Amino acid sequence: MNFKESLYLLRTLGIALWVILAVILFGTGAIIASFLDSRGNWPHIVARWWAKSILLVSRTKVKVRGLENIDPSKPYIFMPNHSSNFDIPVLLGHLPVQFRWLAKAELFKFPLFGYAMKRAGYISIDRSNRKSAFESLDQAAAAIRNGRSVLIFPEGTRSRDNRIQEFKKGGFVLAIKAGVPIVPVILHGTWQIMAKTGITIRPGDVLLEILEPIDTTAYPLNQKERLMDDLRQRMIEVYEAGKAAGR
């Protein structure tokens, strides 16, 4: 390991220590806020500042493009690509709308962090349990009917090769049943900051690109695969174009 890599590793350890401390501080704040706001808006705001603190200490700069494509007063299902641990802080910190995560159950098992997520109204999904997964989709549908946007990683997990992976069906069933638009979101640059296969965190620039919503009412339930393919192809085109442009 050369000197530069050693410095990155030391920085990563420092950032990791801050993340632990921030989970304690902001997690406690989110839990307290959840007792003051039953809709979960205040806890989400606390989570936003948690995310921004992580981006600050890791020297991650974020630019947002495409805000004109969404109306903050309307519910959507946001679907971003997923290639890094930094996708979550970037989305929490810089997607300027109230939304609730539909996230894998493992995240809810972390002490304090998981409890804060539950208190904020984020929704756990256990893909290993079919019945539980459908119950989670019903929860998400109820949140959408109450005017709340939901965010889902359609790939289910982080990419290992910096390419957009195959999509899971659950989010598309939810979108068609709820009849709300899907908003594709492309995160450019998070892979370079911390890849799934990497152990160090590097400073860098991220572009959060919000694409035009897709009208799900044009797709009956028996055509969910066509909706998946149309969305994935659109996201691949934009993501690969970003890589070619050096993003």
Kindly report the pTM of this predicted structure: 0.90
Chunked into runs of 10 residues, the chain (247 residues) has average pLDDT values of 79 94 91 86 92 96 97 94 96 94 79 77 77 79 85 92 93 90 97 90 96 94 94 97 88
| Dist CA 97 CA 100 (whole Å) | 10
Given this model, what pLDDT does residue 117 score?
A: 77
pLDDT at 42: 92
Encode pLDDT of 178-236 as tens digits. 889 999 999 999 999 999 888 899 999 999 999 999 999 999 999 999 999 999 999 99
pLDDT at residue 223 in the model:
93
Alpha carbons 65 and 48: distance in angstroms, whole number: 18
HEC secondary structure over the chain: CCHHHHHHHHHHHHHHHHHHHHHHHHHHHHHHHHHHCCCCHHHHHHHHHHHHHHHHHCCEEEEEECHHHCCCCCCCEEEECCCECCHHHHHHHHCCCCEEEEEEHHHHHCCCHHHHHHHCCCEEECCCCHHHHHHHHHHHHHHHHCCCEEECCCCCCCCCCCCCCCCCCHHHHHHHHHCCCEEEEEEECHHHHCECCCCCCCCEEEEEEECCCECHHHCCHHHHHHHHHHHHHHHHHHHHHHHHCCC
Instruction: List strands edge to edge, sheet with 60-65.
Output: 60-65, 204-210, 182-188, 77-80, 149-151, 99-104, 123-125
Under 8 Å between Cβ of 170 and 133:
yes
Cα torsion 146, 151, 210, 67: sign: positive
